[in-house]
Amino acid sequence: MLFGDRVKAPADILDVELDWSPLIGTDAIAGSQWEADSGVTVAPLSAASPKTRARISGGAVDTACAVTNTVTLASGQKFERAFLVLVRAL
What amino acid is encoded at 63 in this protein?
A: T
Percent of the chain with pLDDT over 70: 98
Phi, psi (degrees; rounded to nearest 5) at 2: -115, 140
User: In which band, very low, low, confident or very high, does the pLDDT at 1 lie, cut at 50, 70 and 90?
Assistant: very low
Distance, in Å, from the CA atom of 33 to the CA atom of 44, rounded to the nearest integer, reads 8
pLDDT in tens, 39-73: 999 999 999 999 999 999 999 999 999 999 999 99
Given a cut of 80, whether residue 3 has pLDDT beyond it is: no
Average pLDDT for 77-87: 96
Q: pTM of the predicted model, to two decimals?
A: 0.92
